[in-house]
Amino acid sequence: MEVSAFADKVLLGRIRKGDQKAWEEFVGHYQSRLFHLAFKRIKDRDLCDDLVQEAFLGFITNLDKVDEERNYESYLYGILQRRIMDRLRKDYRAPGVENRRDSSGNPAQIEVPDPGTGVSTWYRNEERRKIENDALAEALARIIKEYVNSGDYQKLKVMELLWVKGMENLEVSKLLNMDNRAVASIKHRALEDIKTILHEKNLSPSSFPGL
């Protein structure tokens, strides 16, 4: 465990015991970077302050759901990003569509289901979800670690563009100045490695879209 991750874990332990100083330290530690994350999408300082506070409130009122073995900075960012998306869908439009209006003259909305609020959320056993989620995260972390440890950053770049940015093979090959077949081969190998790891854990790849 890295030093910062260990310090975070200790801090979280103190917050869970109701330590106000620890909470102040935590807020002080993350408030600025959270603000910058919000400000990149919403150029309204007061609104960004509100969203950051909502993210902290979301965190503190769901302390029991925070897994201290995981990077809870990601959890905090996740809460804020959902708040930002909610706000953008309500009040803002991305550049190019911000002036669209509906028949009543109100800003046009896109009906994108709100992440995590569907009725079907309850269909799957929560524990099962966690096992699958952890297994996929571990499999991905393993292949990323292998790329980094072997200095094979080109493969990491390929997979990051394909999966994180959602680009197609041809686009990636052009961007990284590579043969399209080499991109396809890297993707194929990564998929096989992940499926192998999931099989080792007795999980079916069919539960994972995109595999």
For residue 110, the SS3 value is: coil
- Determine the Cα–Cα distance for residues 155 and 157; give it in Å rounded to an integer: 5
- Per-residue binding string, another protein, 160-179, x by CB under 8 A, is xxxxxxxxx--x---x----
The radius of gyration of the chain's CA atoms, rounded to the nearest angstrom, is 21
- Per-residue binding string, another protein, 183-202, x by CB under 8 A, is -----------x--------
Show Cβ contacts of residue 161 under 8 Å, excluding neighbours closer than 6 positions. 167, 171, 172, 175, 176
Tell me the closest approach of the beta carbon of residue 126 to another protein, in angstroms: 8
- Per-residue binding string, another protein, 73-112, x by CB under 8 A, is xx--xx--x--xx--x----xxxxx----------x-xxx
Q: Which residue type does 157 have?
A: K
How many CB atoms lie under 10 A from the CB of residue 30?
Answer: 21
- Determine the Cα–Cα distance for residues 9 and 1; give it in Å rounded to an integer: 10
Tell me the closest approach of the beta carbon of residue 93 to another protein, in angstroms: 7
Judged by CB under 8 A, the chain residues 111 through 140 that form the site for another protein are 111-113, 115-121, 123-124, 128-129, 132-133, 136-137, 140
Tell me the closest approach of the beta carbon of residue 205 to another protein, in angstroms: 11
